A and B are shown apart, each in its own frame.
Chain A
Amino acid sequence: MRKRISESLFAEAGTICCASCSHPIAPTGASWKKAAALSTIPVRSLPGAASNIEPKIMLRRFACRQCGHLLDTEIALPEDPFLEDVVVV
């Protein structure tokens, strides 16, 4: 049975999948982010960045490795771990 995880993810048969292309990403019950494609952008490079932005702060983008659809983002300094979101299914 298909269960919603977020706008961009669902779980089915013990697997978290991309809501855009249904590509399986990771087993349920743990954080899926390490199984996603990660790209990082310095926040200061984004349009609208202000004069005083911390140079090390990054926008982490977690995308489906199949279709490139964006699954989640988080703001982080390089030394900080991924935020973990685990939905019990």
Chain B
Amino acid sequence: MDPITFSIIRHRLFRVVEEAVITLKHVSGSAITNEGHDLMVSLYQTDGSLLMGGVGFLHHLTSAAEACRAIIRRFHDQIAEGDVFLLNDPYTAALHTSDIYLVSPIHHRGKLVAWSACFVHVSDIGAMNPGGFAPEAQDIFTEGFSSPGIKLIDRGELRQDLWDTILNMVRSPEMVALDLRSMIACNNVARERMLVLIDKYGTRTVDEACAALIDQSEVKLRERLRELPNGRWQSRQYFEVKGEIYRVLLTMTKQDDTLTFDFTGSSPQSKYSVNCSKWAALGGLFAPLFPLLCFDIVWNDGAIRPIKMIAPEGTIVNCTRPAPVSVATVGAIQSVNNAACATIGKMLAASEKYAGEATAVWHANHFAIFMFGNNQRGRLAIGILTETFGGAGGARTFADGVDVGGEIPNPISRMANVETIEAQFPIRYLFRRRLIDSGGPGKFRGGAGGEAAIVAHDAPDGGIHYVVSGKGTRFPQSDGLCGGYPGAVNDYVWVHAPQQPHNVDRFAQSLGEIPGEDEPISWGVFPLMGNDALYLRWDGGGGVGDPLDRPAEKVITDLAAGLISKEAAREVYGVVETAGVIDERATDARRRELRQARLAEGPAP
């Protein structure tokens, strides 16, 4: 086909997805969708294979392809124009029950020509804990309703009985209804724009362009892989729930134009809901792969073909039903994502041509705090603290990570304004800012994470409750690269207010200034009542290179900006300063001393 037509159709497909995303956000009323961009829209071929991956949470691109295939298998001769299918079963294709897929066939003159699929994290799914993340769940049956595929809209007609049944199983039916309607609207727009495209160019031409687009992605990725060195790289992620420690171990092997991700050696599946299913693990490894290796390649089935995953059954990265998985997206999936980011970063760093694309691990641990309770208007409010999407950039081989710079698997994530959250929930922020010493030290420093503290405010019930699924407070997960240190970890502290109300400081500006007794928490449901406070901090990105190679001037700049402490400047970066002025002689001596100290323990055993 002529390259100009091909290029036009390629860009029109991008625009179809983009416009569908805009629609989704316009109709949705939740902060997790609009602010956190916990969403995804993509187009799929008639067989369910990925045609055009959109932005949003990239974990979902391959899982939604499997969702399309599952719908095709289940409804093969009952798929009609105007249908919309719902699927959210993690053992069929979804990541966890609260990320609902709506999958719609696109027909042109009665013939199936494509599929569109989208997801949002719905406000509630009827799990034992509000909001979808259910740290107290013991199996999939306590994680809300899960469907391996139902027809929600039949030939353009909403099945009211099903609709009412679904909304009858969730805590905030009006918000979940809006979530579902936003996805229906999104798929409608995707279908309409696809039909305009096909009407203009014809089915045969569009099909030809789509096939060429997929082949092009495969050819380009295989070419890129051949340019990269052959080798084997490992990474390991730790996380913990209630004293049990889990490992995700990854060995990535690159051979010629193929890449194999082998998770052999990872921990057995957990009794807690941090597990993930096979499709979720696959999505987890593609989330960093698409932006890091396919930054100029269309994300479609062609880019999937050279990749193989080995995930032993019964492990935390391929659990068996009915193991609980509701925390998967911030549990095992995120660790798979981190591990893949680390090994891909190492491979890129080994390439003269692509070293500039290498990165340390970005914001590696969502804290996923869902608040629930009656708000200042007397209505039930359920929602996430979107700071978890603020993230932190990993350092690159040429630059520092971006402070509060998002995350690899969701290139458009962001957090809501404080005022947005305060308007939705009966809380008040004491402070929210970048977190000192959170970016992983290195020649190039990891981006800083953040910290915040909230108290109850104008709460009709005296406060609110929250669900925290914080499996990442004990182990750093934002790995450094090539000598860089990891970013700091998440932390959650319940500050029990003193008994005497006059001792309460309602304007404290740091954890240390909040009066009361600190209790570290990480897993379960907790109250935020009376004068108590919740302090939280989120992790920074990993650093790249030896911290002693960081120019002293940059260390001083970081010090002045409040991004690092005097202790870090001296003990990690080896910079000696007085009132912000570098003592060059003392700095040279300190850096020699720190290098010498590295040799004191001798060779590795």
B599 at the interface (CB under 8 A from A): yes
Q: Which residue of A lies closest to B522 (CB)?
A: A52
Cross-chain contact of A35 among B544, B597, B603 (Cβ < 8 A): B603
A48 touches B483 (CB 8 A): no
Residues of B within 8 A of A7 (CB): 349, 355, 358, 397, 481-483, 544-545
Asked if A57 meets B475 with Cβ closer than 8 Å, knowing A6-B482, A48-B488, A72-B483, the reply is yes
**B:218-276 near A, CB below 8 Å:** 229-236, 238, 240, 245, 247
Q: Which residue of B lies closest to A2 (CB)?
A: B352
Cross-chain contact of B483 among A8, A47, A80 (Cβ < 8 A): A8
Residues of B within 8 A of A37 (CB): 598-599, 601-604
B156 at the interface (CB under 8 A from A): no
B485 at the interface (CB under 8 A from A): yes
A43 at the interface (CB under 8 A from B): yes
Asked if A47 meets B565 with Cβ closer than 8 Å, knowing A68-B595, A73-B483, the reply is yes
Cross-chain contact of B572 among A33, A47, A62, A82 (Cβ < 8 A): A47
Give Cα A57–Cα B545 distance, bound, in whole angstroms. 21
B301 at the interface (CB under 8 A from A): no
Residues of A within 8 A of B498 (CB): none
Give Cα A39–Cα B604 distance, bound, in whole angstroms. 8
Considering only CB atoms and an 8 Å cut-off, how many residues of chain B contact the other chain? 70
B346 at the interface (CB under 8 A from A): yes
Give Cα A74–Cα B350 distance, bound, in whole angstroms. 17
Q: Which residue of A lies closest to B247 (CB)?
A: A80
Give Cα A19–Cα B389 distance, bound, in whole angstroms. 37
Give Cα A67–Cα B546 distance, bound, in whole angstroms. 12
Cross-chain contact of B236 among A33, A47, A48, A80 (Cβ < 8 A): A80
Give Cα A52–Cα B242 distance, bound, in whole angstroms. 12
B520 touches A38 (CB 8 A): no
A50 touches B489 (CB 8 A): yes
Asked if A70 meets B546 with Cβ closer than 8 Å, knowing A61-B598, A88-B229, the reply is yes
**A:15-50 near B, CB below 8 Å:** 33-40, 43, 46-50
Shortest CB distance B228–A (Å): 10
Residues of A within 8 A of B571 (CB): 47
B483 touches A70 (CB 8 A): yes
Give Cα A77–Cα B476 distance, bound, in whole angstroms. 12
Asked if A85 meets B488 with Cβ closer than 8 Å, knowing A38-B604, A63-B599, A71-B483, the reply is no
Asked if A75 meets B479 with Cβ closer than 8 Å, knowing A5-B350, A37-B599, A46-B485, the reply is yes
Residues of B within 8 A of A65 (CB): 599, 603
Residues of B within 8 A of A54 (CB): 238, 240, 245, 474-475
B229 touches A50 (CB 8 A): no
Give Cα A57–Cα B598 distance, bound, in whole angstroms. 18
Give Cα A53–Cα B537 distance, bound, in whole angstroms. 13
Give Cα A34–Cα B605 distance, bound, in whole angstroms. 7
Q: Which residue of A lies closest to B345 (CB)?
A: A6
A86 touches B236 (CB 8 A): no
Shortest CB distance B353–A (Å): 10
B567 at the interface (CB under 8 A from A): yes
B165 at the interface (CB under 8 A from A): no
**B:357-414 near A, CB below 8 Å:** 358, 397
Q: Which residue of B lies closest to A89 (CB)?
A: B229
Q: Which residue of B lies closest to A76 (CB)?
A: B236
**B:566-587 near A, CB below 8 Å:** 567-568, 571-572
Q: Which residue of A lies closest to B489 (CB)?
A: A50
B488 touches A49 (CB 8 A): yes
Residues of A within 8 A of B229 (CB): 3, 87-89
Residues of A within 8 A of B66 (CB): none
Residues of B within 8 A of A39 (CB): 597-601
Q: Which residue of B lies closest to A59 (CB)?
A: B485
Shortest CB distance A35–B (Å): 7
Residues of A within 8 A of B131 (CB): none
Residues of B within 8 A of A68 (CB): 594-596, 598-599
B603 touches A73 (CB 8 A): no
Shortest CB distance B569–A (Å): 9
A73 touches B598 (CB 8 A): no
Shortest CB distance A20–B (Å): 8
Shortest CB distance A78–B (Å): 11
Residues of B within 8 A of A49 (CB): 488-489
Residues of A within 8 A of B601 (CB): 37-40
Shortest CB distance A68–B (Å): 3
Cross-chain contact of A85 among B232, B352, B520 (Cβ < 8 A): B232
Cross-chain contact of B232 among A3, A4, A71, A84 (Cβ < 8 A): A84
Give Cα A24–Cα B240 distance, bound, in whole angstroms. 39
B600 touches A8 (CB 8 A): no
B473 at the interface (CB under 8 A from A): yes
Shortest CB distance A64–B (Å): 9
Cross-chain contact of B604 among A34, A47, A84, A85 (Cβ < 8 A): A34
Residues of A within 8 A of B420 (CB): none
Asked if A88 meets B230 with Cβ closer than 8 Å, knowing A37-B599, A37-B601, A48-B568, the reply is yes
A85 touches B238 (CB 8 A): no
Residues of B within 8 A of A69 (CB): 483, 546, 548-549, 595
Best-surrounded residue of A43, A68, A86 (most CB of chain B within 10 A) = A68
Q: Which residue of B lies closest to A61 (CB)?
A: B598
Give Cα A83–Cα B250 distance, bound, in whole angstroms. 10
Give Cα A33–Cα B233 distance, bound, in whole angstroms. 13
B456 at the interface (CB under 8 A from A): no
Residues of B within 8 A of A80 (CB): 236, 247
Shortest CB distance A16–B (Å): 11
Cross-chain contact of A51 among B479, B493, B549 (Cβ < 8 A): B493
B475 touches A47 (CB 8 A): no
**B:43-70 near A, CB below 8 Å:** none
Cross-chain contact of A46 among B351, B572, B594 (Cβ < 8 A): B572
Residues of B within 8 A of A50 (CB): 473, 488-491, 537
Please list 29 pairs of residues, one from A and one from B, whose beta carbons are closer than 8 Å in the complex, sorted by A's number. Answer: A6-B349, A7-B355, A8-B482, A8-B545, A8-B546, A34-B605, A37-B598, A37-B604, A43-B475, A47-B572, A48-B438, A48-B540, A49-B488, A50-B490, A52-B489, A53-B473, A53-B475, A65-B599, A68-B596, A69-B595, A71-B482, A72-B482, A73-B480, A75-B475, A75-B486, A77-B238, A83-B234, A83-B235, A87-B231
Q: Which 5 A-B pairs have the closest CB atoms?
A: A48-B437, A68-B595, A70-B483, A50-B491, A7-B482
